[in-house]
Structure 1
């Protein structure tokens, strides 16, 4: 695999959730959606040479997806439940905005997680990375299941407050 293809695949992997959300918002049939998404992936890889790395990749990939979705919709014009071009454009813009917000929220969450003490990190790791229930966590950390559940709730509340504070700071 050459370096251009490797870089295209790397960028596609990061953009795929947003592109998939866009395609899913327009193409309602599961089989058709998977076909369109596969066509988008191929088009992204094939046209990667035209991508300007000075600009964000996700909006560019969504632009490629808009073209593929447009071709799909033109082939389905006889269906009654097909979006017009303006609606598809609005959805593409909305998905880009959500993707940007999501990436910002992840940055904020990373910062907020950094403010927690190690015990809180351990509880979050057991609950969300290892998918353990409070009763199982309680056995591991020598606490009662009720205490674990309450501690997790307090941690989530602190993280939510931190995220809200960072959102307010970012908009000022």
Structure 2
């Protein structure tokens, strides 16, 4: 296969499946900026290993598998950050996720990331603990030196603030588009 033909085929396949792969990455990475970095690394890796791709097979599945390994690499790199979700939680989330392919889903995720960035470290830590698998609310309350009711009420307030923030960002984006 000539180099021009290979370039054309790769460009066509990457354009056709970009949203599916980006959706997969966004569903597995908490921050929009990190997801974008992983997408760039995935794209480079896909190009470098394109000669290993079996022509006629499922490009999206192959690309998502490459993205999976790029996500694992990213997780190792940021594992020292205590606000990053654990591998068990992320694997559980990954197994239950649907493919994010709509622009609306991507816009909501971007808005959520921006809203989380504006929340306090305490709020992010509470949410991180609250959604950690096999973590009991009683354990969270004990670790944070507060009552179980206080944990539930705090989580409820944070989710409400995030929901309003997301809705406002999406409405503002619509006004300016």
How does the TM-score come out when normalised to structure 1?
0.49
Greater length-normalized contact order (CA 8 Å, ≥ 6 residues apart): 2
Higher Rg of the two aligned structures: 1
How does the TM-score come out when normalised to structure 2?
0.48
